[in-house]
């Protein structure tokens, strides 16, 4: 049951991330317009980035790794997918806030990406740990009457 819930949360989170990749985040600019290197620096550039050098490529990686991690029931892969989604989304929000607690011109693309990352985090938490079962001791059965016992076994 936990697996199905984690799979559902992963699917919903991945859908949110895909929507977040292509909808506008701020002032009609989508995630593919924000350069990935600008998220990790203090002074962002005004030049637009291509898809493979933008924030969207990390969101796409989070979707792929998250779906694969849910299918193989791996908390590690789901955790990596969550990090790949949360880090650029969170850093972009911190940078866009400019020291205040509001982001002017915020659009629904960012909200979709943030909600998708949150759902991936929930899927990671819900995914059950694989537990090894201890080897059950073999049940000792009494030999059938008339069978000889080993010489070292007490009667």
Q: Contact 66/81 with Cβ under 8 angstroms?
A: yes
State mean pLDDT over 123-152: 68
pLDDT of residue 23: 92
The residues facing 145 across adjacent strands are none
pLDDT of residue 59: 93
With CA atoms as reference, report the closest residue to 16 among 127, 122, 101, 128: 122
pLDDT in tens, 60-76: 999 999 999 999 989 99
Copy the structure tokens of residue 97: 């806030």
pLDDT band at 147 (very low <50, low <70, confident <90, very high): confident
Average pLDDT, whole number, for the chain? 84
Q: Give the Cα separation of 152 and 155 in Å (integer).
A: 9
pLDDT in tens, 85-96: 999 998 888 888
Q: Is the pLDDT of residue 137 over 90?
A: no
Domain boundaries, the chain: 2-126
């Amino acid at each position: 049951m936990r697996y199905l819930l984690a799979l559902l949360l992963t699917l919903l989170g991945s859908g949110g991330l895909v929507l977040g990749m292509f909808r506008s985040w701020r002032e009609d600019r989508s995630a593919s317009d924000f350069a990935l290197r600008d998220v990790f620096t203090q002074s962002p550039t005004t030049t637009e980035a291509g898809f493979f050098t933008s924030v969207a490529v990390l969101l796409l990686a989070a979707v792929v790794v998250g779906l694969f991690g849910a299918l193989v029931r791996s908390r590690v892969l789901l955790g990596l997918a969550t990090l790949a989604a949360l880090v650029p989304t969170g850093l972009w929000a911190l940078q866009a806030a400019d020291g205040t607690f509001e982001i002017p011109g915020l659009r629904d693309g960012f909200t979709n990406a943030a909600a998708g990352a949150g759902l991936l985090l929930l899927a990671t938490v819900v995914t059950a740990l694989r537990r090894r079962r201890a080897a059950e001791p073999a049940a000792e059965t009494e030999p059938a009457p008339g069978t000889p016992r080993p010489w070292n076994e007490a009667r």
